Structure 1
Amino acid sequence: MEPLVTPEWLAANAGAPDLRIADATYHVSLAGEAVRDAAAEFTTGHIPGAVFMDLAGFSDTASPLPSTMPGPAQFASRMGKLGLGDGTRIVLYDDAAHRTAARAWVMLRAFGFTDVALLDGGLGAWTAAGLPLETGAVAPRPRHATPRDTGAGLRDLTQMRAIVADGSEQVVDARSAARFTGDEADPRPGIAPGHMPGARNLPYGRLLNPDGTWKRGDALAAAFADAGVDLDRQLAMTCGSGITASVLAFGAHLLGREAAVYDGSWTEWGGLADTPKATGAAA
């Protein structure tokens, strides 16, 4: 299965016995953003056969940070209850401003589930293609899910301190330019403005076409190059809480590169007094 599939491909293959479809819509609901209920939206209309992944339920409840990755037991329990278990291929989609299916993709790969794809353009592309929606709640058939890895493709605070100190990996920040430079205050209280010293800024929306589909090939590579990102270096992606950093990681994957995601991202880094911080444009 290719990492990016079209609505037409998904409609043609949805009946395959090993294929599962998951709605990974999650609304971050930062200050100034409209409040939306992803679970309610799912019951109103979703791709036939899909289950609602509820990324909030996959987040580590013991962490003070938002949206951090779950432990293996929590991950396996949630996946199993949704029927997203061993021996399945999984197609993820969303209808979220922050392209949260990419976050689910990073999470599944972190636990060794690699036969996973995104629906290009998400739910919007599905409906634009004139394909039907299903309504109502879904009762998945449980299936055992075995984490085959833990933390693959992720970076933690200790690792990021070393990376910023020695420049061993190129840090790429998916937040808006105003938040990166510090011209705009962080939407989360108590978080400093600015970015990690040495980071490049590539707002995640630059990887997407106006219709929400992914840029490909030269156009996608140009988005990275225009931000000063060297795709031949090891990459560590960051953002506000690890969600849109996952968009950058998936974009790099489409270009044949593997990038890590800093799970705590700026909410962790910017909330600490002893982490180095920079403001202004990328140096």
Structure 2
Amino acid sequence: MSDFVSAAELNDLREQGAPVRVIDVRWRLDRPEAGHGDYLSGHIPGAVFASLDAELSTHGAPAEGRHPLPSTATLQAAARRWGVRAGDTVVAYDDSKGISAARAWWLLRQGGVDVRVLTGGIRAWRAAGFAVATDDVIPEPGDVVLDEIGRDALSIDEAAAFPASGVLLDVRAPERYRGDTEPLDPIAGHIPGARNLPTLRHLDAEGGILDRDTVLATFAEVGVNPGTPVAAYCGSGVTAAHTALILHEVGIDAKVFPGSWSQWSNTPGRPVATGDQPG
């Protein structure tokens, strides 16, 4: 079963009265505070706004990265605020090709929730001609009980050791991987041994996943094949969750280093590689 749903499929589920809770996870690195305003400007009717910074992350010191994992209790409280009940399917969407919605997918899946991502996000919903709403939805609290999260996450030491036994993917833009530029963190470059494969290579212009053979061939370019131990990192553990989603869709399980480069580059003594080779 796919972890993606189309706008038409989601609309059908809603019209059929299926137990579906839709969450709007709009967030952008350049304006993280604007997600709720974007939600209020037009969202899928009944969708609840989910804060990536406050509910899908926690806050900590720079050496913990920009988006440390929330505790299971924090995530469960958020899911209940969204109205999620036992047995519900959660559909997450955004307006950035599923990048931030995938963070919700990655966390909730670990918690035992049936969770999907809307292909194309709010843009696909609008393009299909479906209505949008502008209210701030506050549902009746849910009762979902989450499993403990964190089993699919790597610590910084585990990330450092990973290239010795598998493929560690750096899914940031090539110029950040090479160390040509670093707009956010104190040091430019990548984790030694990591291979670069930007997550957007797996998507079409509308944010839909490319066909299975193409995706598998792209992963094979960097040594990832079915059965290969693989983990991903990015700037702060958001985009890496999207790569984990794409890998899962083609039948490959992956870990994520949630601290990612923001944690690595703020931890004294960690080695840094530059250039277009793993190092």
**TM-score, normalised to structure 2's length?**
0.92
Matched, 1:19 2:20: yes
C-alpha distance 195-257 of structure 1, shift in aligned 2 (>3 A): same
Matched, 1:118 2:117: yes
Q: Which amino acid aligns with 2:59?
A: T
Which residue number in structure 2 is paired with residue 155 of structure 1?
154
Which residue number in structure 2 is paired with residue 214 of structure 1?
209
CA distance in 2, matches of 1:189, 1:263: 15
1:178 is matched with which residue: 175, 180, 183?
A: 175
Residue identity over aligned pairs, in percent, reads 34
SS of match in other structure, 2:54: helix
User: Offset at 1:148?
Assistant: 1.1
C-alpha distance 81-55 of structure 1, shift in aligned 2 (>3 A): same
1:218-248 deviation line (CA, Å, top 9, x unaligned) = 1211222234434431111000000111111
1:48 is matched with which residue: 45, 50, 73?
A: 45
CA distance in 1, matches of 2:248, 2:61: 28
Q: Which amino acid aligns with 2:58?
A: D
C-alpha distance 217-179 of structure 1, shift in aligned 2 (>3 A): same
Q: Which amino acid aligns with 1:256?
A: G
Q: What's the C-alpha RMSD, in Å, of the aligned pairs?
A: 1.8
Q: Which amino acid aligns with 2:66?
A: P
SS of match in other structure, 2:99: coil
CA distance in 2, matches of 1:53, 1:183: 34
Matched, 1:193 2:150: no
SS of match in other structure, 2:23: strand
The number of residues matched between the two structures is 274
C-alpha distance 22-40 of structure 1, shift in aligned 2 (>3 A): same
Q: Which amino acid aligns with 1:262?
A: F
SS of match in other structure, 1:155: coil
Which residue number in structure 2 is paired with residue 255 of structure 1?
250
Q: Which amino acid aligns with 1:19?
A: V
Which residue number in structure 1 is paired with residue 59 of structure 2?
61
User: Offset at 1:122?
Assistant: 1.0
Which residue number in structure 1 is paired with residue 134 of structure 2?
135
**TM-score, normalised to structure 1's length?**
0.91
Gaps of 5+ in 1: none
Q: Which amino acid aligns with 1:61?
A: H
Which residue number in structure 2 is paired with residue 103 of structure 1?
103
1:84-112 deviation line (CA, Å, top 9, x unaligned) = 23221111111136721111111112323
CA distance in 2, matches of 1:154, 1:82: 24
Q: Which runs of 4+ in 1 moved over 6 A?
A: none
User: Offset at 1:212?
Assistant: 1.6
User: Offset at 1:216?
Assistant: 2.5
User: Offset at 1:128?
Assistant: 1.3
CA distance in 1, matches of 2:234, 2:59: 20
SS of match in other structure, 1:101: helix
User: Offset at 1:124?
Assistant: 1.1
Q: Is the 8 A contact 1:121 1:214 kept in 2?
A: no
User: Offset at 1:12?
Assistant: 0.6
User: Offset at 1:149?
Assistant: 2.4
CA distance in 1, matches of 2:267, 2:101: 29
User: Offset at 1:35?
Assistant: 7.2
Q: Which amino acid aligns with 2:45?
A: P
Q: Is the 8 A contact 2:179 2:189 kept in 1?
A: yes
Q: Is the 8 A contact 1:23 1:92 kept in 2?
A: yes
C-alpha distance 90-159 of structure 1, shift in aligned 2 (>3 A): same
Q: Is the 8 A contact 1:172 1:235 kept in 2?
A: yes
Which residue number in structure 2 is paired with residue 240 of structure 1?
235
Q: Is the 8 A contact 1:91 1:118 kept in 2?
A: yes
SS of match in other structure, 1:263: coil
Q: Is the 8 A contact 1:110 1:154 kept in 2?
A: no
CA distance in 1, matches of 2:146, 2:257: 20
User: Offset at 1:14?
Assistant: 1.3
1:16-59 deviation line (CA, Å, top 9, x unaligned) = 34111111111112xxxx67711011111001121111111112
